[in-house]
């Protein structure tokens, strides 16, 4: 079965499970999904294991399920968890959920992630609006034959993170009294954390924060014509800026930031 046929089969299963037709999609990163079920009305959910062609995530903090419902009266599809290249998956598998969200009819997508702060002014617990990215993974999820059904051969990433959506996010943050920083996100392949020398190099290149996701999904979403808004939760200072790094610390900090991020996304959605 080719990729498009697989996607259509997955979409058929999701449509049979959900009564709403979502308008806004979301991808929630490490530990960032716990509060969302309490904010969403008319909740319906399905595990990825019950959706054809979906691999299951293997990383702690990534639940691997879809939730459909209404957030501030807007029909939304919440992807709890994501897939990473470092899990040993192919790029087609990593970006598969984004292709499925597009086929469902979603045109605007909100992504969150946990990230290390490179910018000296960033502290654990801060929220940061991604304005641009640096792909430091050494590869691109669109490499290989291009299927015109998904998008053009050479997609433009000049405005990868939609300006209008970012403006809405800044207004929502101001209304809530939430400090929302802004910066350039750098993606590394993982799963090892970056070295202090790599962080110095990334800072020199203009990166403010670093992580192991989001960039392939953003590239894919733009390729498909979707508008992207991305927010990082700063969970730690990057390598060389603190003694050591651990995934346990990432999960702990994101759990503490869940309510603040959930309230912010709910307010942003109300402005779509």
pLDDT at 157: 97
pLDDT means over runs of 10, the chain (272 residues): 91 95 88 70 92 78 83 93 90 95 96 94 94 96 95 97 92 96 96 94 97 97 97 82 62 72 92 86
The strand pairing partners of 41, in sequence order, are: 70
Residues, the chain: 272
| Matching CATH number, 3-270, of 3.30.460.10, 3.40.50.1580, 1.10.3720.10, 3.60.20.10 | 3.40.50.1580
Separation between Cα atoms, residue 47 and residue 69, nearest integer Å = 15
pLDDT at 90: 93
Separation between Cα atoms, residue 268 and residue 72, nearest integer Å = 10
Strands 24-28 and 108-117 come out as parallel
Tell how many helices (H) and how many strands (E) occur in the chain.
Answer: 7, 9
pLDDT at 25: 96
Tokens (6 digits) for 42: 């008319």
Q: Which positions are catalytic? A: 30, 62, 84, 86-87, 114, 212-213, 236, 247
Taking phi over 0 as left and psi of -120 to 50 as alpha, with beta for the rest, 225 belongs to: left
pLDDT at 39: 84
pLDDT at 240: 58
Cβ count within 10 A of residue 245:
18
> pTM for this structure?
0.93
Strands 65-71 and 209-211 come out as unpaired
């Amino acid at each position: 079965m080719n990729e498009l046929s697989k996607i259509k089969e997955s979409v058929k299963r999701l449509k049979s499970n959900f009564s709403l037709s979502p308008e806004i999609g979301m991808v929630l990163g490490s530990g960032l999904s716990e509060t969302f079920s309490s904010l969403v009305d008319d909740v319906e959910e399905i595990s990825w294991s019950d959706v054809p062609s979906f691999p299951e995530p293997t990383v702690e903090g990534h639940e691997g399920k879809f939730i459909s419902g209404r957030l501030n009266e807007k029909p939304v599809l919440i992807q709890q968890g994501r897939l990473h290249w470092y899990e040993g998956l192919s790029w087609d598998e990593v970006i598969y959920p984004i292709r499925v969200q597009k086929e469902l009819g979603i045109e605007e997508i909100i992504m969150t992630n946990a990230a290390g702060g490179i910018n000296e002014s960033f502290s654990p617990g801060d929220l940061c609006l991604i304005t641009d990215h640096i792909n430091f993974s050494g590869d691109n999820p669109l490499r290989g034959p291009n299927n015109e059904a998904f998008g053009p051969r050479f997609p433009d990433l000049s405005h990868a993170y939609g300006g209008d959506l970012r403006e809405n996010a800044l207004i929502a943050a101001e209304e809530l009294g939430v400090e929302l920083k802004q910066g350039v996100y750098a993606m590394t392949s993982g799963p090892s954390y970056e070295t202090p020398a790599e962080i110095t190099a990334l800072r020199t290149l203009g990166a403010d924060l670093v992580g192991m996701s989001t960039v392939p999904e953003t590239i894919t979403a733009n390729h498909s014509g979707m508008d992207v808004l991305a927010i990082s939760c700063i969970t730690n200072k990057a390598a060389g800026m603190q003694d050591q790094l651990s995934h346990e610390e990432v999960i702990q900090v994101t759990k503490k930031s869940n309510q603040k991020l959930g309230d912010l996304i709910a307010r942003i959605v109300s402005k779509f």
